[in-house]
Amino acid sequence: MSLIIGVIGIIYSLYFAATHPATSFHGYLDKPSIVLLGIMPPCVMLLSHGLRDFAVGFSILAQALFRVQGRSEKEVIDVLTSASALVRSEGIGSLIKVRNQVRYPLLRDGLSLIVNDFTPEEIRHNIQNKINAQQMRMSLANNLFDNLARLAPGIGLMGTVMGLISMMANLKDPASIGSGMAMAMITTFYGLILGNIIYAPCSEKIALEAEKSLQIDLMVLEGVLSLKGKKSSIHMRDIMSTYTQRPQGSGGQPPAAASPQKR
């Protein structure tokens, strides 16, 4: 289905750009160029990606734009530190009331695994699988917008060639040369804007969000395992400080969790 939509979109955008030369050019607005650059790059990506990939990509982008990672990190640290003292004094069962108040999904799942008496190895395996799945989704979104950023300038150049062809084909009619020249110049401009100002920053934003998310998730993993082992709150604070003081992208993460970032 996505392949059919992609092919139809590509053909339509090329047809519209070739058969609808603008009768006049006002500033930087050119309808054929807008149609070509607005429709064709996503449709080209549909040849290799499904509609679900686009849904996941834009969902991840929305989360990256509006979610405050610092707030999530603070919640994880506060919950794990207080839960550590609670477990030492009241036992594992006390985590039930803590779990119901946690908003961070991975931490809530980790506390549920402890309450349901999973072994440390089972907890580690379960949480790492969730981390890997999240990193894979973010890697997919990052690749999607990165490819769009590389496609847009090339398609803009394609529009430039189409505009030049239109100009050359109508040299005997000076009134029609202006529309072809407008398309020839403006599509490259549109392609550069889309690629370098819209798609590329979106890709970079998702990549940075993936690094921050991985750091918090690894902190959750170590914290949950420490809770399972009933470590002291001092030990827990030491673990938290290790992750909060670590520079972004400095490494030290388990290979299973880090590998999905590179494809």
Q: What is the rounded CA–CA span in Å between residue 227 and residue 109?
A: 13
**Tokens found for residue 195:** 């690629």
Amino acid, single-letter form, for residue 196: N
Q: What is residue 132's predicted lDDT score, i.e. its pLDDT?
A: 96
How would you class 76 by CB atoms within 10 Å of its CB: exposed for 0-12, middle for 13-18, buried for 19 or more? buried
What's the Rg (C-alpha) of the chain? 26
In the DSSP assignment, the letter for residue 26 is B
Contact 17, 33 (CB under 8 A): yes
Residue 124 reports pLDDT greater than 90: yes
For 39-73, write each residue's pLDDT tens digit. Answer: 999 999 999 888 999 999 999 999 888 877 778 88
In the DSSP assignment, the letter for residue 96 is H
Cα-Cα end-to-end distance for the chain? 25
Domain extent listing, the chain: 2-261
Question: Which pTM was predicted?
Answer: 0.75
Using CA atoms, how far residue 96 sits from 83, 111, 224, 237, in Å, is: 10, 8, 14, 21
**Tokens found for residue 30:** 């050119």
Using CA atoms, how far residue 230 sits from 3, 25, 76, 128, in Å, is: 53, 71, 17, 20
For 184-233, write each residue's pLDDT tens digit. Answer: 778 888 899 899 888 999 999 999 999 999 989 999 999 899 888 887 77
Phi, psi of 23 (to 5 degrees): -75, -20
* Residue 263: pLDDT band with limits 50, 70, 90: very low
State the alpha helices, DSSP H only, in 91-119.
95-99, 105-115
